Amino acid sequence: MSLQHFVNVALAVIFASTEGRAGECVWYISNFMITVVGGLIVLTLWMRFHRIVVAKYQITWLQSGEYGNPPRISIWLAQTTYWGFVCCLEKFTVAGLVIYPFHHRIDSIIAPLETPLKPYPKTELVLVMVVAPSILNPIWSWIIDNLVKDPQYGHHGERSQEEPLKHYGTVQTDC
C-alpha cells in the first residue's frame, strides 16, 4: 500500500502540472479512484494469467499465499516484492490507458469539485490524504486479499470441502 501511495503521489504531481486547473490533491484522489476501478480489472486478469503460468510451469515459490512448509521468509518476500511490482505496473497501465488520454476531460470535471476547498488547503489535504484513504484502503485491501487468495483454500488456509477441488482449471481428486 505504501508503494502504491508513492506512485499515486507521483502521478498526481505529474497530472496536476500539465496545463490543468485541478490541483495535486484532487488529482491524487481522482487517480486513486480511477486506478482502483481500472486496477481491479487489470489485477483480476493478471491473477488469472499468473495462476495459469504458475500451475503450467510449476513455479511453486510464486503460488499465491504458499510460503513453504515450514514457511520461509524468502518466499514471502519474493511474493510481496512481485506483487508490489505488479500493482505499480497496474497503476502506470491504467494511468497510461485511461488518465493520460482523457487528462483534459478529467481535469475539467475534477477542477470544479476542488473549488469549495481551495480556501482551506489543510482541510483538503486531510480529506484527501487521511479521510478518503482511511475509508477506501480497507475496502481495496479486502478486495485484493480475496483476489490474491488461492481459490483452492478456504478462509483458514484449509482445503474447502464444499465444492470439488478445482486447481487452475483442472479437477483434482483426493485419491
pLDDT at 173: 39
Query: 18-51 pLDDT, tens per residue?
Result: 878 999 999 999 988 888 888 888 888 999 999 9
- Partnered with residue 153 across adjacent β-strands are 159
Calculate mean pLDDT across residues 10-21.
Answer: 88
Q: Which of 86, 2, 90, 87 is nearest to 38 (CA)?
A: 90
pLDDT at 166: 43
Give the pLDDT confidence of 62-93 residue by residue, as tens digits: 998 888 889 999 999 999 999 989 988 998 89
- Would you place residue 171 in the very low, low, confident or very high pLDDT band (cuts 50, 70, 90)? very low
Which grid cell is 11? 502521478
User: Residue 153: what pLDDT?
Assistant: 52
Cα separation, 74 vs 142, in Å, equals 24
DSSP string for 109-175: HHHHHHGGGTT-HHHHHHIIIIIHHHHHHHHHHHHHHHHHS-TTB-TTSSBP-SS--EETTEE----
pLDDT at residue 146, as a whole number: 84
C-beta separation of 128 from 29 below 8 A: yes
pTM for the full predicted model: 0.72
| Average confidence (pLDDT) over 96-124 | 93
Domain-wise residue ranges, the chain:
2-171
pLDDT at residue 131 is higher than 50: yes
